[in-house]
Structure 1
């Protein structure tokens, strides 16, 4: 027998919460604004906006800034978000490091600490070190309180279960329920996400294009390869939270066997781990590889990077034909290859994708001024908080 879920109705409380969420999100984009501007942009009536702002002021999440000039010379009281009292712990778990940072509700970073981890030490010891960093970060916070924790991990990630399904090059993490253990140890809500999806969300939040609609794909090409797919501002996750696991998409069914059990997986050809294996006699670190390709026009390093970039581009052709994105952003460690990566990927796309599609697609390198996946770990938690602001921001409850 097939059981179908009936569609749930919308209660007045749900509508009020959606309106609060809308107003806070509008204020985040506008910085200082007036109640009249929020009324116009939100489509809500003036009395509703007045009631919501009064409520948010009483919670401490909104403050008045004084008189500001409006349209036609009209003056009004300015308002803005007061995000500093609400802190988020953001955590990025990678195969060789753990980074923990403190953010406020606007995604502004206050402090950060990174430690190396090694497969020889095991996943349990690495996880315990993560917990120690979280304790130190919570203790160091001097303003407001930590209200949530966001964690991003390599994949495949079983997001709905709160654990990693497989971390290539670092086994053992699949035995740890990261979300459940952190919630128990710190008595805080914990949100877990695949690192590429978090990176995509960070680019949607802070990207220069201020994109509101469309399809954007962030490609995390580092020690593994994954993709975050954002559609109209929402991350596409799939039924188990594993959508975008392009590193385990086969590009050669007769290729080498991957730890996932498949053959010819994309990350075996274009991850930075694979790149270092190819160049193990000439280069022991990525820093050495990037130095070589930026100083030389030819050579083993240049050819190895170009070949890896070609494979990545070839894999992205399949993603383009599947999701038809407006933008693709190339990020994580491989992005440091710069123009060589971008131009090679772009040329492969131009060759193998229909011109009517490729001509309308933007391909760009991720900005190198922030760790987008680390920032994304905080944004994953912030997004959940903004969806239910009364549960997290009402200090009177």
Structure 2
């Protein structure tokens, strides 16, 4: 598949990206743990020839999200391992943290998933921390941004070195010499860092992809540099095409500066489509979901993002209190500042009032498209053809019915235009993403450097 073909992933949530999606289900109590429901989502994605399904995670205990919608209850590594048995082609992206636990555990889990799926595993790296995670792991105050990325750097170096430590050719399985594993061909690591130490060789052999695909999510300057150095694909939260083009150009340039082929770093912003046969019908569908939301708690969430008093948002048809928000900008937590700035830029560009901003996916953060499947296909292609993205990570309003609409109505439009596959290209996720198989012999690995 050529480089101008679109890459698509799907963010798997128990009910869907819309915060009121769960209210449309008959059985509302078990959505977070119903494996049959997750299998249906995975199969819908594969029917649509989607590149990968993306399992996000909140490492640690319950977060406040669980008070108002189904939460991420299941361990993503366990969940994708199960989904591997129910699918044949779609990639399986597992999110884990680089702050808690030990790198060897993650290296073994993701490599194991790559083997049992026949080469479809990916690791999504996150560096976020929140009070429930800090509490669950027994960590005190956590780490500032610079220290988080130094910690993440060590974590990734160890994981990838373990992935490279037991190459295929070390397994000789020679019955005549009674040599099963030749120790001379191993690449053991001996890493002593500030945050992590690790020695030895992984018990999991080199995987079908050479190395699982690495995804990374984030927008900050530290995140961009980290992703451009280590990732095969970046998840980002661009809401405006101008910002997306700037981000795209910067990370491609960074990748090149690290000696990488920039074509081997895919940029896939999040995108939240709400679709129907006409634009008016799509707007009605969105309103029907929005009307099910608790506007009081949503206003409190928006007030937190804007650093304003919730009373300032009481009249939903009033103008957005930009002046109050700007005056209090220093009170916004560092992790929320980029999200806030993007929301306000979008609101200014389109002249939104409080109501329009409130229902613009402030909790998910990603750009919303409301319209027809054909219009949506052309919208995505416009971003790709003007240097804003290589593809998108789709956030589906209600799963799996919204994903069925993508498979049945959007994908055929892209195929007709010659911009989407008609069958999976290969067996592995790297094959389908247009990425080369990783060969540790031609790369600078930690083991070789040591």
TM-score by length of 1: 0.28
> Which gives a bigger RCO, structure 1 or 2 (Cα 8 Å, sep 6+)?
2
Bigger share in strand: 1
